[in-house]
Structure 1
Amino acid sequence: MSSSVYRRLHGLFTATKTTPSLPKSPKPTTAPSPAPAPAPARSLSPADSSDAKTFRILVKKFKKASDSNRFRHRNHRSYETTVRRLAAAHKFSDIEDILEHQKKYPDITNEGFVVRLICLYGKSGMFDHAQKLFDEMPQLKCERTVMSLNALLSACVSSKKFDKIGELLSEIPEKLSIKPDLISYNTVIKAFCEMGSFDSAYSVIEEMEKNGLEPDLITFNTLLDAFYRNERFADAEKVWELMKEKNVVPNARSYNPKLRALVAGNRIPEASELIEEMGIKGIKPDVFSYSALIKGFYDNGMLEEAKEWYKEMAKNDFKTLQVTFTKLGSLACEKGDFDFALELCKEAISQRCLVYSSMMQLVVDGLVKESKMEQAKELVELGKSNGYFHYKLKMPLEV
């Protein structure tokens, strides 16, 4: 990549540092703010000795398990789960402890192994630690290539340290003779989208092409998702046109942001037509496509239409999302279609999908009210056997 391109990208990030949508980067501390966790967890008090002991045991067991070559190579999920749990509890020193511990193993000379650790630091919001590990790689006798550069860029995005990306791009590639690749550029585009700097995100394609690279499906899907989420429909149309021009074939992930945007704008007929258009073009809708459309019918109280698309989704053997079961079930109860609500509950249980017991209770009550005692009993037994709830059936009052 030429130095002019470095300056251009660095300038773009510098120019957007003051944009209102740019999240403020936290000041470096010994306990950095983590990236948002998938599920909120309570912050642990220092006085909570029971929880403190639990985390000490967790760290000790993890470090011992790390002695196993098989664990280090095969249990990627254990690394992710443990670090995510510690980050949610703000146990940053423990994260540093278990990841620094990995340096004692011969794997640390393998770039792929180090990349995993850099990414884990990034997902914990510990960008300074990720960069420190990147800088230490030569001392650890580990080669640095574009793969580790991309991991560091990704750690920037995960940690919301968007302003650091410009610095990395202006310093590391020339200093270390590492040429950014398509993944590097896609990460930069994602960063601009997260910042809300959409024009800058789109302009990266031009810089990419100057360096002899062509945007791919990930490039376009990232832009489409950002543009539709922020109601920039004209910009999204520019992306579709560019995809045609470059012969990049869209997939369901390309269409889903548009589907969600149409549903959010209550343009349900257009959303239905879009799914039909996907089929005509040979693009198979996925579970998120169907769920987006079903949500639109749910929001408008259109049960029969929602049922039709649910059946269409079932024909394609997709596992229904929990939120879809919940929405459809509550709408079916509201409309008095307890037979369909029963069908949904049974299907959810068979898929081992969580269904709120309160909704199942509504279905049981509705079936009892309609004197469908056998069906009600069947659902109660299914609920009990799957740990949902205990319900004492009430016989209808005799008139």
Structure 2
Amino acid sequence: MAFFSRLRLQSLTAAHRGRCNFSTILSPDSKTPLSAKDKTLAALSLLKSEQNPEKILEICRAASLTPDLHLDRIAFSVAVTKLSESNQFSYVKQLLDEHRRDRPDLRTEKFAAQAIVLFGQANMVDDAIATFKKHHEDAGSESGSVKTLNALLFACATAKNYAEVKRIFVDFPAIYSISPNLDTYNTVIKSFTVSGSLSSVYSLLGEMKKNRIKPNATTFSHLLAGFYKEEKFEEVGKVLDMMKTEYSISPGTATYNVRIQSLCKLKRAREAMALLDKMLKEGPRPNATTFAELIQGFCSTGDLEEAKKLFKSMVGRGHQPTVECYFTLIYYLCVGKDFDAAFGICKESMEKKWVPNFSTMKLLVNGLAGEGRVEEAKELVGQVKEKFSKNAHIWDEVLAGLPQ
């Protein structure tokens, strides 16, 4: 009896020591227990700079992450990205398999779906398939999970393994007794359009009709993007007509944004601008994304004056430019040597605590100095050094190269 008491005491002591170690990993200076949110925030901060794969796993264990919380899902994604980018694929597998094995609260459909997607993010399609099969086996149900099927299709598409998307879509519903839903078809249609298999999409629409699954605006947005990419403008017209006449779906802002983005990618920003004019006259109402896509489009064709007008119009209409919008415009203005406009927009961006990357900022600083505006260049460098003190030495080198 004494032996079992000692064994139990040792076990409790080890568990307590493990909890203390976990707490120390996330917040070595804290004397009070962290809330779940604080744990995740601390984990995210550590993950962004950590390179050691063992430490990355320890950080995730310490944070007790769950797929139910958005921040926790981000933390999982950051951890998997760090590991896969350094080719530590065995650690990705250990991280995800261990969480499902050791935590009963994660033996769920939701976490299985997240793990499958994360394996796809790491380009580990075989492990994504194995996780799908293991979840189906553990569930012990005759019919499979459409949620994990959709996650698996998405994982394969994320890994750009479009052949597996097709194989799984054709074979798995019958093997695992799963009825595909709208999300299933939308994922497959997007995969086909991205991979250049547009010839198959109309048969998919026919299959959806047969199975009484009505396409939505997302379905048609994928089709439009695909036909624009291949410059099949007649098919674009057919799809728009089909939306209205066969399915009574009016193109909304998201559909217009897809069309505008697609035209801008083809360097046809003027045609995209005509769509914005139509939206302003007839609806639907454009949003910040509409303007951001057009600004990107005009910047990429070198029409910086039009890009600046759109930026001004966007703000005047009450839309808040996104961080990407600021960074895109600042970069292209620097490339076009319009440093005055770039400086003004950069100051506005930094007031929102959005600082462009090093290469863009260096372009701007050197550009201002080259125009004799050395003090303004130094002012910018001072603000960046204050915000990113770890990189201060890099900016000292830039300062040393400026005219004195």
TM-score (norm 2): 0.73
| Displacement after TM superposition at 1:142 (Å) | 6.4
Whole-angstrom distance in 1 between the partners of 2:187 and 2:159:
13
Q: Offset at 1:170?
A: 4.0
1:344 equivalenced with 2:345 (yes/no)? yes
Secondary structure of residue in 1 paired with 2:52: helix
Sequence identity, in percent?
A: 30
Kept in 1, the 8 Å contact 2:83–2:89? The answer is yes
Partner of 1:186: 186
Answer yes or no: is 1:323 the counterpart of 2:328. yes
Is residue 87–residue 95 contact of structure 1 (8 Å, CA) maintained in 2? yes
In 1: Cα distance, 2:380 partner to 2:223 partner: 45
Runs of 5+ in structure 1 lacking a partner? 1-50
1:159 match? 159
SS in 2 for 1:250: coil
Tell me which amino acid in the other structure corresponds to 2:111. F
What is the CA distance between 1:375 and its match in structure 2?
5.4
Displacement of 1:167 after TM fit? 3.8
Classify 1:72/1:257 alpha carbon distance in 2 versus 1 (closer, same or farther; 3 Å): closer
Distance 1:296 1:77 in 2: 30
Per-residue CA distance 1:342-375 (angstroms, 9 max, x = gap): 2112022223131522222245226536xxx875
Q: Identify the match of residue 136 of structure 1 among 134, 137, 143.
A: 134
Residues 296 and 195 of structure 1: is their aligned pair in 2 closer, same or farther, counting only changes over 3 Å? closer
1:357 is the counterpart of 2:364: no
Q: Does structure 2 conserve the Cα–Cα contact (< 8 Å) formed by 1:109 and 1:142? A: no
SS across alignment from 1:224: helix
Residue of structure 2 in register with 1:55 after alignment: 53
Report if the CA contact (8 A) 1:108-1:140 is conserved: no
Matches within 5 A, 1:84-163: 84-101=81-98, 102-141=100-139, 144-163=144-163
**1:283 aligns to what?**
284
Counterpart for residue 3 of structure 1: none
One-letter amino acid of the counterpart of residue 349, structure 1: M
Q: For residues 165 and 300 of structure 2, what CA distance do their matches in structure 1 show?
A: 40
Q: What TM-score do the two structures reach when normalised by structure 1?
A: 0.74
Letter in 2 for 1:103: R
Name the CA shift for 1:174/1:380 in 2 (closer, same or farther; >3 Å): closer
Contact kept, 8 Å, 2:366 with 2:377, in 1: the verdict is no
Paired residue for 1:254? 255
Give, in whole Å, the separation in 1 of the partners of 2:73 and 2:149: 20
- 1:362-373 to structure 2, matched below 5 A, reads 362-365=366-369, 368=372
- Structure with greater helix percent: 2
Code of the residue aligned with 2:92 in structure 1: it is I
Q: 1:378, CA displacement in angstroms?
A: 4.9
Unpaired runs of 5+ residues, structure 2, are 1-48
Helix, strand or coil at the partner of 1:114 = helix
Q: Give CA-to-partner distance per residue, 1:70-124, whole Å, 9 cap, x none.
A: 6564311111111111111221111111111022221344211211111111222
Across the two proteins, how many residue pairs are aligned to each other?
335
- The higher relative CO (CA closer than 8 Å, separation ≥ 6) is in 1
- Tell me if the contact between 2:84 and 2:92 (Cα under 8 Å) persists in the aligned partners: yes
Q: 2:286 is aligned with what amino acid?
A: P
Q: Which residue of 1 aligns with 2:311?
A: 310
Distance 1:176 1:294, change over 3 A: closer
